[in-house]
Structure 1
Amino acid sequence: MPPGPREVSDLELSAAAEAVLRARLPSIAELTVAAIIVEVPSYTGALSGKMGANIEKAVRLALGRFLDLASRTKGDDPSIPMGPAVDGARDLGRGEARSGRSMEALLAAYRVGARVSWRELAAAALEGGLDAAALAQFAELVFAYIDELSAASVAGHADELATTGRVRQRHLERLSHALLTGAPADAVLAAAERADWPPPRTLTAVLVPVDQLRKALTPLDARTLQPAEDVPGLEDEVGALLVPDAPRSTLLRALRRTDAIVGPTRDWLQVRTSYDRALRAWRLGLAGDTDEHLAELVVRADEGALEDLRARVLAPIRALRPTTAEKLTDTLRSWLLHHGRREDIAADLFVHAQTVRYRMGQLRELYGDKLDDPRTVLELTLALAARG
C-alpha cells in the first residue's frame, strides 16, 4: 500500500508561510471549483444549486485540512487533520454517484483540481518565504494528500453504486432497451420514472468502439444512457450511447478524438431511428457525423440492388479491356458530376481537354442517345456515386 501524506514528508511550515496560505484559501478554493466547472463538461452548471454548494464546501474543507496537516509540528497526532477531509471526500464520491456522474468525470475533476490548487498553493508558499527544498517537500505533500482524497472519493462512489446506484443502473439499462426496441410510449415513460431519469427533449445515438467508451463518456452529459446488453444489431466490439439534449457541434467536438459515428438528433421517444441510422453507417465503415454521409447512406441502403444497377448500366463499359474500362468509367463519373464541363473534367482527371473529348466520343459510341436520357443519367449517377 503506498504511503499517505502523513508518511511522505517532514515539512514544517513557517508561521509566515502558513499565514499567507490561510489568507489565500478562500480564493484558491474558488479558482479550483471554477476550473473544474469550465474544464469538465459533466460539471457544467454545477455552481448553481445544492451541488455547487457541496463542491465548494468539499474543496474548502480539503484545503483547510491540508494546511492543518502541513503546519503540524513533530509529535502531533497525525490522524486528527485527515479524518474529516477523508470522510468529506468519501461523501462527495457517494453524492456524485447519486447525481449520475461517472467515475471518469469525478477523476477528471480531481486532476483539474490538483493542477489548479497546486499552482495557487505554490505561488502563495513562495510568497510566504518557502525555499526550493521546502517547496519540493510541499509539492510531495500536496499530491500525496490529493491522492488520498481521490481514493476516498472513488471508494465512496463505488460504495454508492454497489447499493442504490446499482439498482438505478439496472433501471437505466431497461429504459435504454425499451427505447431501442420500440416499446410503447407509455412503457418507456414508466421505465424513465422508475429510473428517476427526467426525459430530455432530444436524444442522439452514438456508436463507438468499446475500448473508447470511457474516453467518449467523460465529456458527455451525466444523463447519457449506455445500453448494456440485448441491443438489437449491435456487435460485441461496439458500444452504444444515447446522449440527451446535445447541440450537434458540441457533441461532435467532444467525440473528435474517437472513432464514433453520430446518428441524427431525434425527439427522445424516437431515438431508435437515430440508432438505426448510426448502425447502418457503422456497418458501411463510416465515421463521424451521419448527416455528412446522407447521400452514401441513401445510395447504399440496398447493396444488392446497387450492384445489380451497376452491372446493368455499366455493361457497355465492362465489356472493354480493364484499363480502358477504368479510364472510361472515371471519365463518365466526372462528366456526370461536372455536368459535362470539359475543362472541369480535365482538371478533375489531370488530363488534357482533348483527351476528355476523345473519351466522351467513345462513351457516346457505347451509349448513343441514352446519355441524353434523364432516366439513364440518373441510373448512371447512382451507380457511380458510391463507387468503391
Structure 2
Amino acid sequence: MYDFEGSVVSSTGEAPTQLIWNEVAATNRRDLNTEIGRWHVRTRRVALRDGVHVIAIASRTVDTLDQIGELLLDTSERLLGAVHGIQYGATRRDRRDNEQLIAALHDGVVPAREHRFWNQLAQFRFPAYAPIRALEIAPLSDGSATEAHLSLLIGRARSEGLPFLTMLRRADMDSPATIAALIPDSEASAQWLAVTAHDFLIGVSAPSSALSAVPDSVREAETALGIARQWARAAETPENIGAVLIDRIDLSTWLLSHVDARQLRERIVRTLKPLASAQLLDTLITYLAAEQNVTRTAEVMFVHPNTIRYRLTRIEEAFGESLTSPFSLANVILALHPEIIGRAPELRHR
C-alpha cells in the first residue's frame, strides 16, 4: 500500500512478489490464473513499444479476484498504455528537439547568438558556458550506424544522467553513417566514454566553451574517428583501443592524420619494401609496441630472447641502418604507427 507521495506504508515483503515473478517467468501464457502459497494470482501480459509488461494482482481471497480481478486488469492495462503513450510522445518530442539543436550547432552559430543556444542547451542539462566536446561514433564493425545504435547510446546516457545531444549523420553520400554527439567535458563523460568505447569506435574533439566553434570541433572529432578506424584495423582487439581524444594524441599520430592517405600509403610501402619477411615485420611491430623490450617481445611471441635479437639484426641489415639511430627509428615508427598503436592494447592486456 502506498500513500499519496508514493511511499510504501504497508507491504507483505519481497518473498510473495518473487514467487509470483518466478511463476510468471516460467510461462509464456498471456493470462495466468493460479495459486502461489496462500495467494490467488491473476496476471496479464501487455505488449507495448518498449517490450512486454506483466500486470499481476494477488489476493488471499479468491472471491475478491472473481469479483474485481478482470476489472483491475483491464483498468491497469489501459493506464499502462496511456502512461506509455505519454512517455513515448515526450521521448519523440525530446528526440526531435535534440536533433534540431545539434544540427543547428553543427551548421554554426554566430558568437552574438551563443547565449540563446546556451539557454536551449540548459534544457538538456548542459552546464551553462562549460566546455563541451564533439563526438563522432561508429560501430566497431566499421559499418553504418543505425537507429538501433542511436537508441542504445541515448539509453546509456540517460541511465548515467549524462547530458547528451545526438543525431545520425553522413559526411557525404558515399560515407557510412555515423553518430554525432555533444557532451560536457566532465569526469562523468570520461567514464561514459571509457565504457562505450568497448562497443563503438569514438573520435572526440578538444573541449571548447565557444558554441561558434562547434563546426571546428566536429572536424576534429571526424579526424579522431579516422584515427580510431586506423588503429582498429591494425588491432586484434579493437574493443580495447578506447576513445580517441584529439587533444591527447601524440604528435606523430596528429601529423599522420593530416597527410593525404594515398600518398602516405605509397610512402609507407616504399619505406618498408626492404623488409620482405612477414615474420620480421611482425617481430618489429611487436618489439616497438613492447617499448623496445627484447625480453617482453620474446614472451609475447613465445620465442627465446636471442631469437628476437637475431631477427632485429636481420631487420637492421635489411634497412641498412641501426634501429638505435633516432632518424631510422622515427621513420620506422611513422611507417608502422597504426600497427604499433593497435598492438599496444593487446600487450597491456596480456
Rounded Cα–Cα distance in structure 2 between residues aligned with 1:259 and 1:31: 41
Quick one: which of 233, 254, 271 aligns to 1:313? 271
Alignment-mate amino acid for residue 30 of structure 1: S
Q: Does 1:242 align with 2:205?
A: no
Alignment-mate amino acid for residue 283 of structure 2: T
Quick one: which of 65, 79, 83 aligns to 1:149? 79
Alpha-carbon distance, 1:25 to partner: 1.9
Alignment-mate amino acid for residue 225 of structure 1: L
What pairs with 1:104-253 in structure 2 (closer than 5 Å)? 125=59, 129-130=60-61, 134=65, 144-156=74-86, 169=96, 173-193=99-119, 197=123, 200=127, 201-206=130-135, 207=137, 209-210=145-146, 211-221=148-158, 224-227=164-167, 232=171, 235=175, 237-244=177-184, 247-252=188-193
Q: Does 1:275 align with 2:218?
A: yes
Q: Does 1:266 align with 2:207?
A: yes
Q: Which has the higher strand share?
A: 2
Quick one: which of 283, 291, 299 aligns to 1:331? 283
Quick one: which of 325, 331, 339 aligns to 1:379? 331
Quick one: which of 220, 240, 244 aligns to 1:290? 244
Rounded Cα–Cα distance in structure 2 between residues aligned with 1:224 and 1:313: 44
CA-to-aligned-CA distance 1:19-45 (integer Å, 9 cap, x gap):
xxxxx222992369xxxxxxxxxxxxx
Is the CA contact 2:131–2:185 (under 8 Å) kept in the aligned structure 1? yes
Highest RCO, 1 vs 2 (Cα 8 Å, sep ≥ 6)? 1
Distance 1:233 1:183, change over 3 A: farther
Is the CA contact 1:313–1:383 (under 8 Å) kept in the aligned structure 2? yes
Alpha-carbon distance, 1:380 to partner: 0.6
CA-to-aligned-CA distance 1:55-83 (integer Å, 9 cap, x gap):
xxxxxxxxxxxxxxxxxxxxxxxxxxxxx
Instruction: Tell me the matched-pair count.
Output: 268
Structure 1: state its 5+ residue gaps.
Answer: 1-23, 33-102, 319-324
Is the CA contact 2:194–2:243 (under 8 Å) kept in the aligned structure 1? no
Is the CA contact 1:180–1:232 (under 8 Å) kept in the aligned structure 2? no
Rounded Cα–Cα distance in structure 2 between residues aligned with 1:178 and 1:142: 48
CA-to-aligned-CA distance 1:106-142 (integer Å, 9 cap, x gap):
x79x97xx88xx6xx75xx5xxx3459949x85x766
Q: Percent identity?
A: 19
Is the CA contact 1:212–1:258 (under 8 Å) kept in the aligned structure 2? no
Quick one: which of 302, 312, 315 aligns to 1:350? 302
CA-to-aligned-CA distance 1:237-262 (integer Å, 9 cap, x gap):
33323234661244237747853636
Alignment-mate amino acid for residue 2 of structure 2: L
SS of aligned partner of 2:207: strand
Normalising by structure 1, we get a TM-score of: 0.52
Which range moves more in the overlay, 292-301 or 326-335? Answer: 292-301
Is the CA contact 2:205–2:217 (under 8 Å) kept in the aligned structure 1? yes
Distance 1:130 1:330, change over 3 A: same
Is the CA contact 1:300–1:386 (under 8 Å) kept in the aligned structure 2? no
Q: Which has the higher helix share?
A: 1
Distance 1:218 1:312, change over 3 A: same
Distance 1:273 1:26, change over 3 A: farther
